[in-house]
């Protein structure tokens, strides 16, 4: 993922964001790799990792010809910028003078997408496991209990889900079942909010404006509530976490949501900046990833927020790589996820602790 992150920090990309992000019809900026480049790489060097090829600035045979056929003046970088717009792409490009390229090497595409909103086993589960409904006693909705972590050197489980799922100003009490599925306090109370990464609202939309990297919260499970360590409904629980740098576009992933059950997907894009609606407020998010499915069945729906996103899943192990937190209301084959490395880092910062898988 690092080659895409590097482009998102470039001067040309920063200028693009600063010029257009304030526009009310522009939802966000994504980065991906031209599928023609990926196909050429796979056919010529099937064992070469995509991240490695991008780092080495590898030019596979046929790529210069492809660029000429597209009428580009230069041999382009395979890393593309995609603008998510709320209006017709052709009209938007003409009326806003969106450039075709930045830095003369990165193609700029426009897609009709959005708006984007945060996405929120219905039954009561004891012992607790991942992939089931959870919510705050003060909220009428709920989300997904992703799984469990603990502070290093302790044995006390804390459940990890989204901030917008677990936090309410009226209560710190956490329910499983969530209130919208019939849960109530104290019979379904399982713990209390312990640490959250606060969500901030910005008044301006530029590359340098404050943005949220994660939507994450922990709740400490009461000692009287049983927890099955290392268990997620319908799949193999993770035994390790993925670094952001080790992840790549195209990686196979899966998640288990309280609404969607087990779903398979692939990493589609790195999202540099995106406007996300949570509880009728618009938040500026950045530096997360987008997943997609080729299935005709919706990938994720409201209520799947908080699901743990896994990769390298086998019958014995998997890696925790992300936390699903939002969906696209206009593209049911997509969902947005925080990098788990960012989630853990931010939670460590606000708690002063060192968290690991439970």
Q: Are residues 219 and 247 in the same domain?
A: yes
Closest CA to 235 of 340, 335, 132: 132
Q: Which residues of 93-128 are buried (b: 16+ CB within 10 A; e: fewer)?
A: beebebbebbbebbbbebeebbebbbbbbbebbeeb
Q: Which of 79, 113, 147 delimits the end of a domain? A: 113
Question: How far is Cα 57 from Cα 328, in angstroms, rounded to an integer?
Answer: 32
Question: How far is Cα 224 from Cα 186, in angstroms, rounded to an integer?
Answer: 13
Q: Are residues 194 and 333 in the same domain?
A: yes
Question: How far is Cα 340 from Cα 311, in angstroms, rounded to an integer?
Answer: 12
- Whether residue 174 lies inside any domain: the answer is yes
- The pLDDT value given to residue 121: 61
Q: Are residues 211 and 338 in the same domain?
A: yes
Q: How confident is the model at residue 230 (pLDDT cuts 50, 70, 90)?
A: confident
Q: Which of 79, 98, 113 delimits the end of a domain? A: 113
Say how many C-beta atoms besides its own lie within 10 A of residue 296's C-beta: 7
Cβ atoms 79, 37 nearer than 8 A: no
**Mean pLDDT of all residues in the chain?**
95
Q: What is the pLDDT of residues 64-102, one digit of tens each?
A: 999 999 999 889 999 999 999 999 999 999 999 999 999
Question: How far is Cα 354 from Cα 22, in angstroms, rounded to an integer?
Answer: 37
Task: Give the CATH number of the domain where residue 337 resides.
Answer: 2.40.10
Question: How far is Cα 165 from Cα 206, in angstroms, rounded to an integer?
Answer: 28
- Whether residue 282 lies inside any domain: the answer is no
Taking residues 241-265, report their average pLDDT: 96
Question: How far is Cα 94 from Cα 96, in angstroms, rounded to an integer?
Answer: 6
Q: How many domains does the chain have?
A: 2
- Whether residue 276 lies inside any domain: the answer is no
β-pairing verdict for 189-196 and 116-118? unpaired
Q: Are residues 317 and 348 in the same domain?
A: yes
Structure tokens at 65: 């010809």
| pTM over 0.75, yes/no | yes
Taking residues 37-46, report their average pLDDT: 97
β-pairing verdict for 106-112 and 101-102? antiparallel
Q: Are residues 109 and 137 in the same domain?
A: no
The residue among 182 and 286 whose pLDDT is bigger is 286
Residue 353 has pLDDT above 80, yes or no: yes
Question: How far is Cα 131 from Cα 147, in angstroms, rounded to an integer?
Answer: 7
Question: How far is Cα 134 from Cα 191, in angstroms, rounded to an integer?
Answer: 11
Residue 105 domain boundaries: 2-113
Q: Which of 84, 113, 142 delimits the end of a domain? A: 113
- The pLDDT value given to residue 156: 96
- The pLDDT value given to residue 120: 56
Cβ atoms 137, 185 nearer than 8 A: yes
Closest CA to 121 of 144, 99, 141: 144
Q: What is the pLDDT of residues 165-188, one digit of tens each?
A: 999 999 999 999 988 888 888 889
Q: Using the structure block, give the residue that is written with the tokens 């009561």.
A: 124
Q: Are residues 158 and 212 in the same domain?
A: yes
Cβ atoms 98, 316 nearer than 8 A: no
- Whether residue 130 lies inside any domain: the answer is yes
């Amino acid at each position: 993922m690092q080659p895409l992150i590097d482009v998102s920090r470039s001067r040309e990309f920063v200028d693009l964001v600063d010029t257009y992000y304030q526009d009310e019809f522009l939802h966000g900026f994504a980065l991906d790799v031209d599928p023609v480049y990926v196909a050429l790489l796979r056919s010529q060097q099937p064992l070469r990792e995509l991240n490695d090829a991008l780092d080495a600035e590898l030019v596979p045979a046929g790529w210069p010809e492809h660029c000429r056929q597209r009428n580009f003046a230069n041999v382009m970088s395979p890393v593309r910028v995609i603008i998510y717009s709320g209006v017709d792409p052709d009209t938007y490009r003409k009326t806003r003078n969106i450039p075709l390229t930045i830095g003369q090497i990165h193609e700029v595409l426009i897609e009709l997408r959005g708006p984007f909103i945060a996405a929120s086993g219905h039954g009561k589960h004891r012992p607790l496991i991942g992939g089931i409904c959870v919510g705050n006693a003060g909220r009428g909705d709920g989300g997904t209990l992703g799984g469990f972590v603990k502070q290093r050197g302790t044995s006390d489980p804390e459940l990890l889900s989204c901030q917008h799922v677990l936090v309410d100003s009226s209560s710190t009490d956490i329910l499983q079942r969530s209130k919208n599925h019939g849960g109530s306090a104290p019979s379904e109370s399982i713990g209390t909010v312990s640490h959250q990464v606060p969500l901030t609202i910005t008044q301006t939309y530029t590359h340098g404006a404050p943005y949220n990297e994660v939507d994450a919260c922990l709740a400490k499970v009461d000692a009287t509530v049983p927890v099955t360590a290392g268990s997620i409904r319908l799949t193999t629980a993770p035994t390790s976490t993925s670094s952001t740098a080790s992840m790549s576009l195209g990686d196979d992933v899966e998640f288990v949501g309280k609404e969607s059950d087990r779903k398979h997907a692939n990493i589609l894009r790195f999202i540099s900046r995106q406007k996300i609606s949570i509880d009728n407020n618009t938040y500026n998010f950045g530096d997360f990833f987008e997943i997609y499915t080729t299935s005709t069945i919706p990938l994720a729906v409201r209520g799947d927020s908080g699901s743990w996103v896994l990769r390298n899943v086998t019958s014995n192990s998997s890696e925790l790589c992300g936390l699903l937190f939002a969906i696209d209301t206009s593209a049911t084959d997509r969902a947005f996820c925080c990098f788990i490395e960012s989630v853990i880092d931010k939670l460590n910062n606000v708690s002063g602790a060192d968290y690991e898988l439970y």
